[in-house]
Amino acid sequence: MTDTPQIYLVTPPEIDAAFPERLAAALDTTAVACLRLDLATRDEDKLIRAADACREVAHRFDVPLVIADHPALVERLGLDGVHLTDTRPLRKLRADWGPDPIIGAFCGTSRHDGMNAGDAGADYVAFGPAGATALGSGERAEPELFAWWSEMIELPVVAEGALDAETLAALSPVADFVALGEEIWRHDDAAAELKRLVGSLS
């Protein structure tokens, strides 16, 4: 457990031609541990173009790039791993890939699912939404979940979903990583907003 969580950046669900420049500005401003390509589209051509653009920027800053829920594209596109929102393929992926590619697992608010993902070979577990949101069931991953996980389980834990400055401050002592996406990209100056939110963690 580090003193301050590391930053895990998530792309917006749609990106345009200007996004790589915005991404580069954010990475130039703030140290980021990992970038997740997490698009709404299932269109493979769009995913490949977006992955190529993001990989070029991420690797320039020595930031690993994982893709959400498209493990078949990892090796093909030279990506660093996959983030699974459906963890059923996790055990087979780990067996097929060996130890190197990153495999992350989103486990909602379930300790049980998190522990199962760890047993299956996940490199990290993500819980969320950690902030207040009208989306989904309304159930939150409370700071107590992260505190329990950090005390009992060695596997790194990521807090994500609707994170504001107040929530980040509460999570700072108990999360290994905090995932920021729409929280910054909806602002014109995403790099400045990222820097402002990271200030909540100190």
- CATH number for 158: 3.20.20.70
Q: Is residue 16 part of a domain?
A: yes
Is 91 inside a domain boundary? yes
Q: What is the mean pLDDT of the chain?
A: 96
Structural domain boundaries, residue 156: 6-201
Residue 105 has pLDDT above 80, yes or no: yes
Instruction: Report how far residue 70's alpha carbon sits from residue 171's, in angstroms, rounded to the nearest whole number.
Output: 29
Measure the CA–CA gap between 98 and 121, rounded to whole angstroms: 10
What is the number of structural domains in the chain? 1
Residue 81 and residue 102 in contact, taking contact as beta carbons nearer than 8 Å:
yes
CB atoms within 10 A of CB 187: 13
Is 50 within a domain? yes
pLDDT at 1 over 60: no
CA 104, 100, 54, 88 dihedral sign is negative
pLDDT for res 138: 76
Tell me the pLDDT tens digit for each residue of 106-127.
999 999 999 999 999 999 999 9
Q: Is 0.85 topped by the overall pTM?
A: yes
Residue 1 inside a domain? The answer is no
Supply the pLDDT for residue 133.
Answer: 83
